[in-house]
A = this chain, B = another copy of it.
Amino acid sequence: MKQTLLLLPGDGIGPEVTAAAQRICQLVAPDVAIEEDLVGGASIDKHGVPLTGAALDRAKSVDAILLGAVGGPKWADVARDKRPEAGLLGLRKGLDVFANLRPAYCFGALVDASSLKRDRVEGLDIMIVRELTSGVYFGEPRGIETDANGVRRGFDMSVYTAPEVERVTRVALEIARGRAGRVCSVDKANVMESGQFWRQEVTTVHKTHGGGVELSHMLADACAMELVRAPKQFDVILADNLFGDLLSDAAAMLTGSIGMLPSASLGTEGTPGLFEPVHGSAPDIAGQGIANPCAAILSLEMALRWSLARPDSADRIMAAVGRALEAGARTRDLGGDLSTTAMTDAIIDCL
């Protein structure tokens, strides 16, 4: 049966980088049908909401979704649920893609672009598995209110249930099995009840499903520090939605440029995965044609591998990006001067 990839270019540099990924897709997997729809600010401008029910239904019906990025100053001053980010959160929740995979690896050719010394990042290969559909991002109650004494307060509930922790832990264990076999689970069990609960549940799930995988626990603050001190100690890092958000951004930066890093968000078997660059919509450089297309192209690579069952096409992309970098191809964020299109051409030349 024909496979379909839905493009959701979104805002800012989103359309520029997804266009680059689309070109690559047409070359390595020409039989995949490509559709397109709106999300984020682009959807607000057209439909008044950051994600329409029709767009979500369409996303649910395809095989994989490649999203560019959402957000920008144009839509910043409105209520939170009317903002572009709400479209992204609605998509994640609607697709129930609970496991967000964020690799942090350093292409050999880019070791010197990192802020860290060479020995700290050479050969770095971390996979962060972040829970994506629960925690403080979606917990209830939440709000801003004035209490009986006239005091204003803002609040959010940070909450995890056992099934939520279990399913993402199983993904992390499964992934570790195909790698170095080590999962480091992150929490603040020393101060948060949900952290203590997270640690207990992960430990329990590991007992039943952790065959062959070594499990350790680390406090989130210590993990933030260890990612800077000695990042190569990590294989798979398992974290909740909020800690995963911060730690994956820090880890991404270890590799030189956030412009290089893809992510995959996976649901249960047989449902479409959502693939997106770790970077944002970068309003400061949008429209200039200078964005690094690698994160989007590598997100396509993850789509081909994780949702479309085309590991060979994925391998081709991975190798081509590596070779283009070896040959010196660099966008501005990497210290070069190639445009988005020229960088994409360089990768295509190496396919």
Contacts and interface: CB of A to CB of B under 8 A. Distances in A.
Interface of A: 71, 80, 83, 85, 89, 115-117, 120, 136-137, 139, 142-144, 151-163, 188, 190-198, 201, 220-222, 224-225, 227-230, 242-243, 245-250, 252-254, 258
B250 A228 contact: yes
Contact of A254 (B197, B228, B246): B228
Contacts of A193: 80, 142-144, 154-156
A221 B243 CA distance: 9
B253 A228 contact: yes
B196 A144 contact: yes
A163 B149 CA distance: 12
Contacts of A230: 115
Contacts of A253: 224-225, 228-229
B143 A188 contact: no
Contacts of A137: 191-192
Nearest to A258: B225
A189 to B, nearest CB: 8
A154 B159 contact: yes
A172 B308 CA distance: 50
Given A83-B190, A154-B192, 13 more contacts: A115-B120, A152-B162, A153-B162, A155-B158, A156-B157, A156-B193, A221-B249, A222-B249, A224-B250, A225-B253, A225-B258, A228-B228, A243-B246
Contacts of A201: 152
A246 B85 CA distance: 24
A117 B117 CA distance: 5
A72 B154 CA distance: 34
A80 B195 CA distance: 11
Contacts of A83: 190
Contacts of A117: 115-117
Contacts of A71: 190
Contacts of A157: 155-158
A50 to B, nearest CB: 12
Nearest to A151: B161
A44 to B, nearest CB: 15
A168 to B, nearest CB: 14
A109 to B, nearest CB: 17
A83 B189 CA distance: 11
Closest 4 CB pairs of A and B: A154-B197, A155-B159, A154-B194, A221-B249
A242 B220 CA distance: 10
